[in-house]
Amino acid sequence: MPRRCSCSARSCTTPMSGEPIIPPGSRAILIGVPRYQKDARYRSYTAVGNSVEGMYHLLVESGLCGWREEQVEKIVDPTNAGQLMGRLRQLAAETTGVLLFYFVGHGQPSEHTGELCLAIADTDHDNPDATGLEYAKIKRALHSGTPAATRIAILDCCYSGRAIGLSADEDGTQLANLSHCAGAYTLTAADERAHVPPDGEGHPRTAFTGELLDLLTRDGVPGGPDGLALGVIFPHLQHRLATKGLPRPNQRSDDAAAAFVFACNHATPPPGQPLGDADTATSASTSGAVVPRQDADVSPVGCERTHERPAAPLTGRHSAGTRMPTGPRARRGILATVLTAAVVLTVAVGWVMWPQGQGGALPGLTPAGQMTAPTGVDTVVFSHDGHTLATTGVDGTVLLWNTASHQRVGQPIGPIAAQNRLGIAFTADDRALRIVRRGKDSVTAGLWDTTNGQQTQTSTAITTKDTNYALTAEGSNVALAPDGRTLVIASFLGNVPSIAWGLDSGQKTVLEATGYGGSAVTFSPDGHSTAFGGENQLTVADTSSGHTIASLDRNLGTNVYIERIALSPDNRTVAVALGNNTVQLWDIASGEQTGSTLTGLTKSAIALVFSHDGHTLAAAGGNGTAVVWDTASHRRFGDPLTGVYAIAFNPNDQTFVTGGLDHTIQLWTLPPRATSGTSTSDH
């Protein structure tokens, strides 16, 4: 017997009437490329295949979205880009209802235009625009090439953020922003590198698609609307990814497309079951604002789940032979029990298996004071004199704190949306903060007074054209110098160099090194050097002249991806946090790794920073676990910290600060130097 849900969303139906759930004339095209046949530089991932299968299950088999089998075309490991593009155009031209395009696999920018290319099974890495799918052509098929009333594109690949920027037509003219036209919605996984777990790590799907499927088929939105519109799904998906330290997704749409109900809310109980507290519940968005429950009759068509969802790993449901309690309260109780067991198991396993490093841990860290912010904290920066701390909350507001009294000072700055904030630094005299933000096709940098919180200098804008497309469409491959005077934009394109941009002078310095690998970029504490790297690449350059100081590409080896980089204060050592949750120290002059690899992180690093004397290195992983090491002995101080998403060292003493999503700003004191082994100056 079909299960009836209380959703009245337009993407569902009434089985009694036999009306289709998705309008007639709708088509979904799902493309997944888990195996690459021609070019070994494209790694193959089982998780990609699982992801495209999971999307098919969501649309056709879960009972949540209501697509019929004949409306969905699944294409796995396609070859021949010309034939595939022809098929896409044909399907788009025939679609009059909803047109959905989903791609999971490798994405790569063209060296010639910077435009996103989707790699298929026989794509040549050196010629992705000729042997892969140029997204500019897909845009035309999805928009001007179809009479579909609603057009949806979901891209799970590296550089997918470029799909929502402007692009150049073949004749060099600027295309209209095809990702932002009437009835169109685009959802992308990452500005730069999407996260795909390697085979054998036990992760069934890519990070982006996995979280989307878990949100829709397992968790739903408790207290949310009966039917989940695309615009409602996005902030919850963004929050899930951000709290795990995974790449942030992006969206672009008009109001009509954002209101399209994509799926029934899994957290809504069937008709006849008491709603309990769900009727009046509210759900929190990523900004912390309260989102009221939507009216159930905002859509004209009644929502019914067409059949019982079969027991399957993707749904998280129990088998039909097991009678389980249902409803919001029962689900909350079950979830609490499961989470408690998971926490206990994690702690137990961590206690037994946590890497102890060489010779065991050093003495622990001592708490030295605590402050409480009004929201979660994702950035912490000390002033140059060490007397003031600037923190940014997840709501985008910048607050200033006196490090001695632990009290707030000055006026709040902002809010500036977290996903648009790229960097923050005190000016050399500590009287102002430089804040770098991103726009659609540019980054801007302005000055704000630290006393009154007012902007004192009009923002300087740097566009993608100014950088010859070295700047990504979302401006995420940039770093701000510690004094706030220089911005480095690391290039992803093999024929476009990285640049250093003087924000006060407007001077542009071309850095000699070129090639892919600008996803991680940083400055030395004195601002004289910059380092940038990515997949199998690491370069250190002089900021003023642009000359390459060292290139460690060959030394790193193959299949190495750098998540974060830090330069020591003496410019002699570069620390790299790798995708396998380890950290390495490299001597810049010799190009050799110094000492053993540092362990202790359980998730890829989202923060990596040296202390101002170079004796200490701290890293925070995407799951909030942080480790602090002595750089000479490569041993860690005490037990790992938890709940940490931002770290900064005070330039004046042996203290550092951590910030977390639990609103806590914690000051810590390192043990006396005599207990931590030989200093780095002894090398």
- Give yes or no for residue 19 having a pLDDT over 50: no
- Regarding whether 190 and 262 lie in a shared domain, the answer is yes
Q: Is residue 622 part of a domain?
A: yes
CB half-sphere exposure, 179, CA atoms < 13 A: 24
- Regarding whether 272 and 398 lie in a shared domain, the answer is no
Q: Higher confidence at residue 436 or residue 298?
A: 436
Boundary of a domain, candidates 299, 333, 353:
353
Q: Is residue 360 part of a domain?
A: no
Give the ranges where 561-652 is alpha helix by DSSP (H): none
Q: Higher confidence at residue 677 or residue 239?
A: 239
- Give yes or no for residue 556 having a pLDDT over 90: no
Task: Give the number of other Cβ atoms within 10 Å of residue 579's Cβ.
Answer: 17
Nearest by Cα to 383 from 408, 360, 402 = 402
- Regarding whether 404 and 269 lie in a shared domain, the answer is no
> Rounded to two decimals, what is the model's pTM?
0.54
The string of DSSP letters for 20-77 reads: -SSPTT-EEEEEE----SS-TTS---HHHHHHHHHHHIIIIISSSS---GGGEEEEES
Task: Give the number of other Cβ atoms within 10 Å of residue 16's Cβ.
Answer: 10
Structure confidence by residue, pLDDT tens digits, 490-509:
876 666 778 898 988 888 89
Structure tokens at 264: 């029934």
Q: What's the gap between Cα 70 and its chain centre? A: 34
- Regarding whether 420 and 340 lie in a shared domain, the answer is no
Q: Is residue 18 part of a domain?
A: no
CA–CA distance, 362 with 677 (Å, rounded to integer):
9
- Regarding whether 609 and 525 lie in a shared domain, the answer is yes
How buried is residue 268: exposed, middle or buried, by Cβ count under 10 Å (0-12/13-18/19+)? buried
- Give yes or no for residue 101 having a pLDDT over 90: yes
* Phi, psi (deg, nearest 5) at residue 432: -145, 160
- Of the listed ranges 15-24, 577-586, 612-621, the least confidently predicted one is 15-24
CA–CA distance, 461 with 470 (Å, rounded to integer):
15
Q: Higher confidence at residue 192 or residue 226?
A: 226
pLDDT of 492 reads: 65
Confidence grade of residue 156 (pLDDT, cut at 50, 70, 90): very high
- Give yes or no for residue 222 having a pLDDT over 80: yes
pLDDT of 201 reads: 52
Confidence grade of residue 309 (pLDDT, cut at 50, 70, 90): very low
Contact 534, 562 (CB under 8 A): yes
What is the number of structural domains in the chain? Answer: 3
- Regarding whether 478 and 453 lie in a shared domain, the answer is yes
* Phi, psi (deg, nearest 5) at residue 129: -75, -25
Boundary of a domain, candidates 286, 315, 344:
315
Share of residues in the chain with pLDDT > 70 (%): 72
- Give yes or no for residue 467 having a pLDDT over 90: no
pLDDT of 493 reads: 64
Contact 275, 178 (CB under 8 A): no
- Give yes or no for residue 8 having a pLDDT over 90: no
Give the mean pLDDT of 627-634.
94
pLDDT of 436 reads: 87
Task: Give the number of other Cβ atoms within 10 Å of residue 507's Cβ.
Answer: 11
Looking at residue 76, which CATH number applies to its domain?
Answer: 3.40.50.1460
- Regarding whether 329 and 304 lie in a shared domain, the answer is no
Q: Is residue 303 part of a domain?
A: yes
In the beta sheet, which residues pair with residue 608?
A: 619
- Regarding whether 490 and 345 lie in a shared domain, the answer is no
Q: Which of 111-120, 133-142, 511-520 has the highest mean pLDDT?
A: 133-142
Structure confidence by residue, pLDDT tens digits, 86-99:
999 999 999 999 99
- Regarding whether 601 and 509 lie in a shared domain, the answer is yes
Share of residues in the chain with pLDDT > 90 (%): 40
- Regarding whether 478 and 344 lie in a shared domain, the answer is no
Q: Is residue 647 part of a domain?
A: yes
Looking at residue 424, which CATH number applies to its domain?
Answer: 2.130.10.10
- Regarding whether 204 and 91 lie in a shared domain, the answer is yes
Contact 166, 441 (CB under 8 A): yes
Confidence grade of residue 255 (pLDDT, cut at 50, 70, 90): low
| Crossing angle of the two packed helices 230-243 and 207-214, in degrees rounded to 10 | 120
Q: Is residue 11 part of a domain?
A: no
- Regarding whether 581 and 509 lie in a shared domain, the answer is yes
pLDDT of 319 reads: 30
Structure confidence by residue, pLDDT tens digits, 665-675:
999 998 876 54
pLDDT of 402 reads: 94
Which domain, by its residues, includes 345?
325-353
Give the mean pLDDT of 184-192.
84
CA–CA distance, 620 with 364 (Å, rounded to integer):
17
- Give yes or no for residue 311 having a pLDDT over 60: no
Confidence grade of residue 642 (pLDDT, cut at 50, 70, 90): very high
pLDDT, the chain, mean: 77
Give the mean pLDDT of 281-294.
31
- Give yes or no for residue 542 having a pLDDT over 50: yes
Confidence grade of residue 606 (pLDDT, cut at 50, 70, 90): confident
- Give yes or no for residue 681 having a pLDDT over 70: no
Q: In 195-209, which positions are buried (b, 16+ CB within 10 angstroms) versus exposed (e)?
A: bbbeeeeebbbbbbb
CA–CA distance, 552 with 558 (Å, rounded to integer):
12
- Of the listed ranges 78-92, 94-108, 185-199, 337-351, the least confidently predicted one is 337-351
